[in-house]
Amino acid sequence: MSVQSLVNLLEQLDVAHKYMLDLAILKKKAVMDNNVDSLIRLMNQETKGMKQIELLEQQRVSEAQQFLQACGIKSQLNLTLTEISRLVFDIEDKQKLLQIQKQLSETMTQLKEANDLNQKLMEQSLSFIDYSLEVMVGRPNQEATYQHPSERNSGLGSRAGIFDSRA
């Protein structure tokens, strides 16, 4: 197997991760706009994108193993791209491999940052919804302004009912 087929797979992985980054940006906007329908649609697209990335990642591992076997290495180790690049002797191929590695790494870092931000936005949104419900409904252990007469504490000046039973 040639290095070029591995580079092509890495380029496809980068494109897939950039697609996921675009979805993350749209997802951020949907969360900020409180657009639940759009958020659900984007999450479904994310699921499809994740399946595609998983498939491409399996192909990448297979291509890397075939490349190692072509180099005469019979190991089943899962080597990093940096380690694989040490086995590439053509300078142009090595540069392509290291360049796509850097590009993919940058894309994945951006995606992670966008996903972390979206997670924080979702947590804040849920906290706000929880707070709003507490304000509207009240806490379960919070005393209400009006209580059922049987639940009131009977004090010296309070009457148990409308009629005085001693009279």
- 3-138 — its CATH code? 1.20.58
User: In the 3-class helix/strand/coil scheme, how is 78-118 assigned residue by residue?
Assistant: CCCHHHHHCCCCCHHHHHHHHHHHHHHHHHHHHHHHHHHHH
Q: What is the pTM of this model?
A: 0.74
**So what's the pLDDT on residue 86?**
83
Where exactly are the structural domains of the chain? 3-138
Q: What is the pLDDT of residues 117-148, one digit of tens each?
A: 999 999 998 888 888 888 888 766 655 566 66
Q: What is the pLDDT of residues 152-164, one digit of tens each?
A: 555 444 444 444 5
